[in-house]
Amino acid sequence: MELHTTHSSAISGASSPFLRLVLAAVIFLLFITGTTAQSIPKTFQYTVDSLIKAAPKTFSDIHEVMDQKRSDTLLMRYFANISKKKNYFAGLGYALNELGRTYRNISQYETAIKLHLEAKAISEKADNLDMRVYSLNNLGVVYRRLFSIRSAMDYNQEALELAETVKNPSVSLKRSINVSINSIGNLYLMLNQYSEAIVYFERSVKLESELGNTLGLAVNYQNIGKCFEEQGNLDKALEKYRESLAYNEEIDNNMGRVICKTSMAQIYLKQNRSKEALSLLETTLPLAQKLGDGFLIAPVFIVMGWAQMQMGEYISAENNLLQGSGLAEKFKLSDRFSQANHLLSKLFEKNQDYKKALDYKLLAVANDEKMFNEGTVQYVNDILFRYNSDKTKNDVQLLAQENEMIQMKLRTTYTTLLISGIALALLAGIFYILYRQYQLKNEKKMLTLEQSMLRSQMNPHFLFNSLNSIKLYIINNEQKNAVHYLNKFSKLVRKILESSSVREIPLDEELETVELYMTIENIRFSEELDFTIQIDEEVDAHTIRVPSLILQPFLENALWHGLSSKNGDKKIRIEVTKDKKGYINITIIDNGIGRVAAEEIKRNKVLKRKSVGINITKERLANFAKDYQNSFYLEIVDLYSEDGDANGTKVILHLPTV
């Protein structure tokens, strides 16, 4: 922060805009080349020369020398330049990673990624496994801050697998293993898998204790506290946050202090201890601002605004929440951006400004959908109702005033004309209100259908069983299969979330999604499923649009009612054809036990599960077909062998194209 202030002062002191521009360009050029008007301290130059002569290869050996200087970008760039000239690749990799870490901590994520990727490439070229693992873990941390869970998991998993190939790892490599484990725990935390996350964090605590790494202990206790907070165990969460703070105090870690105190203040607010929370945050904010990391500053402003709102200090609360929201948006802190906008919605609701309350709530819900959090539809509808109610009252008052004016003009020759005009205006107003009510009802119905559809796609049992299946690969040390299916699973979840936010998608994207779904389900069928997709040559799957996520309920029925109870080969085939009547025909054929036998098994079950996925799908198809001349229709055909035995089921979905 002080560096930027100094530069601004120098530029503003120049005598002309041209000179100011030149001076700014010179400063920027000097910064990126690692050279300043003031030379590098001789002591640091001697340190670099000695280090390059000794040429240690591990991160910990280099870090022992460079620890106190690693956050100084000027010195790290000098170290990187000299290491590059001397072909000291371990030093170059260390310097690039530390530059990336510094930029990450001031939320310049694109620059950080470029530096870490460059460090990774250099470590691969030099065959330096220790530095390669360190680079991969750093990339995972940056992508986790960007909420790119899939990329973060890929990098951290690759780092862990690579490190564990060494039978007797060094201390440096053991620390990297701990970073990988902690990072994977954080990814489970982001996916709301709190129990799984705690397992990883506690495993990391044990390893960090063995290494005597106080910073690692501080980080993991903070993360465990977050898990307990999300589970609603506030006392346990506060206990873990305090343990983390104690470790941060021990090593004089200001960044850790800010994170812990912000988390503790949030617990105080949930316990209605707003004064304690605000007092704690007022001492924390200057420290966060001094560090200059938007990742730290935004949460402090937001939680301060929350505390002030609880205490009735609405003006201060609004200012702090808006400042926190702006920083969160600027630095791409999606969770904090949602939190700030949810709180702003509550604040304006308390002030009875329902229009702004609605605007902020819709902004927060839209952001929640990107992070796989359920929207608060009932709350939005409530705000919408109250906003429309107030608007209707205002409209009625305006109409009453107009009526008074009309009464004054009744004696004129235009009486009949005015009355007719008022009647028409009232009639138009009534039609408008009725039309708006109809629109809102349809929008609410569609939103409910989309939510129901998303819940059916993201069935908790399916998610839980899929992750358990993948976990079994991990337990059995089948790492390649675990990574393969975890990538497939994350891609499926991302596609379902992306598809759920739009009404229609290209047919080829829909088929890609169901193929991923069947790949995951095939794990639970012990790879016995034979699933194929056949598309007629006349069908252009890229241009044909269908309702998003429309095929999965039919495939789920085929799997769990037709094939799950069948012995022998299990086949499902999707055929896509086009007819001359303006329809696309999507046929799903299975060789299961048939509907009659499936219904008999269902009747004999003690616990009966009512399936609503098909009914929701039919409603969505009916709404989809409104925009076409033709309507959709659905055929379900029972298949029999020549001997009259049940031989599966055929579902034919006829979708209009004109």
Phi, psi torsion values for 164, nearest 5 degrees: -75, -5
pLDDT bin (cut points 50, 70, 90) of residue 464 is low
Query: Which of 16-25, 333-342, 604-613, 641-650 shows the lowest mean pLDDT across its residues?
Result: 16-25
pTM of the prediction?
Answer: 0.45
Nearest to 513 by CA among 538, 486, 550, 482: 550
CB contact at 8 A, 572 and 529: yes
Residues 330, 106 contacting (CB under 8 angstroms): no
At 446, the pLDDT band (50, 70, 90 cuts) reads: low
Tell which wins on pLDDT, 441 or 577: 577
pLDDT of residue 413: 65
Q: What is the distance of C-alpha 315 from the center of its chain? A: 31
Contact 55, 42 (CB under 8 A): no
Please report which confidence band the pLDDT of residue 568 belongs to, taking 50, 70 and 90 as the band edges: confident
Average pLDDT of 572-587? 88
Nearest Cα to 116, choosing from 124, 269, 536, 523? 124
Higher pLDDT, 223 or 549: 223
Rounded-to-integer distance, Cα 331 and Cα 293, Å:
9
User: Is domain 42-177 given the CATH code 1.25.40.10 in the classification?
Assistant: yes
Q: Which of 83-97, 158-172, 634-648 has the highest mean pLDDT?
A: 83-97
CA 632/CA 618 separation, integer angstroms: 9
pLDDT, one tens digit per residue, over 383-398 is 333 334 444 555 556 6
pLDDT of residue 522 exceeding 80, the answer is yes
Q: Are 650 and 637 in contact (CB under 8 A)?
A: yes
Report the distance separating Cα 462 and Cα 360, nearest Å: 33
Enter the DSSP assignment of 39.
Answer: P
- The pLDDT assigned to 411 comes to 64
* pLDDT over threshold 60, residue 26: no
Angle at which helices 149-163 and 479-500 pack, to 10 degrees?
170
What is each CA distance from 78 to 57, 126, 226, in whole angstroms? Answer: 19, 20, 39
- Percent of the chain having pLDDT more than 90? 30
Q: What confidence score (pLDDT) does residue 326 get?
A: 92
Q: How confident is the model at residue 4 (pLDDT cuts 50, 70, 90)?
A: very low
pLDDT tens digits, 112-161? 999 999 999 999 999 999 899 999 999 999 988 887 878 888 899 899 89
Question: Does residue 3 carry a pLDDT above 70?
Answer: no
Residues 6+ apart with CB under 8 A from 322: 340, 344
* Residue bearing the bigger pLDDT, 450 or 68: 68
CA distances from 205 to 202, 217, 479, 562 (A): 5, 6, 23, 47
Euclidean distance between CA atoms 462 and 125, whole angstroms? 42
| Main-chain dihedrals φ then ψ at residue 577, nearest 5 degrees | -130, 170
If one looks up domain 495-507+529-656 in CATH, what number appears?
Answer: 3.30.565.10
- Report the percent of the chain where pLDDT is more than 70: 80
So where are the chain's domains? 42-177, 495-507+529-656
Q: Which of 81-85, 455-459, 490-494, 601-605 has the highest mean pLDDT?
A: 81-85
d(CA 362, CA 100): 35
Handedness of CA 79, 84, 89, 92 (dihedral sign): positive
| More confident site: 389 or 7 | 389
Give the lowest-confidence range in 162-176, 238-252, 369-383, 558-572: 369-383
Query: Distance between CA 185 and CA 199 in Å, rounded?
Result: 8
User: pLDDT band at 20, cuts 50/70/90?
Assistant: very low
Q: Which two tokens stand for residue 417?
A: 């004309």
Are 360 and 309 in contact, with CB atoms under 8 Å apart? Answer: no
Q: What residues form DSSP beta bridges with 646?
A: 640
Q: Considering only 46-55, 435-444, 550-559, 642-651, which range has the smallest mean pLDDT?
A: 435-444
Coil, helix or strand at residue 540: coil
Q: What is the per-residue pLDDT for 334?
A: 82
Question: Are 651 and 587 within 8 A, CB to CB?
Answer: yes
Residue with more model confidence, 327 or 11: 327
Q: How far apart are CA 214 and CA 204, in angstroms?
A: 12
Q: Which residues, at least 6 apart from 38, have a Cβ–Cβ distance to it below 8 Å?
A: none
All residues at 6 or more sequence positions from 51 whose CB lies less than 8 Å from its CB, including other chains: 62, 65, 66, 91
Contacts of 228 (CB under 8 A, 6+ apart): 234, 236, 237, 240
Average confidence (pLDDT) over 295-314: 92
337-374 confidence digits (pLDDT tens): 988 899 998 999 888 888 888 888 888 888 877 765 43
Q: Is 534 helix (H, G, I), strand (E, B) or coil?
A: strand
Instruction: Give me the chain's average pLDDT, please.
Output: 80
pLDDT of residue 27: 41
pLDDT at 89 over 80: yes
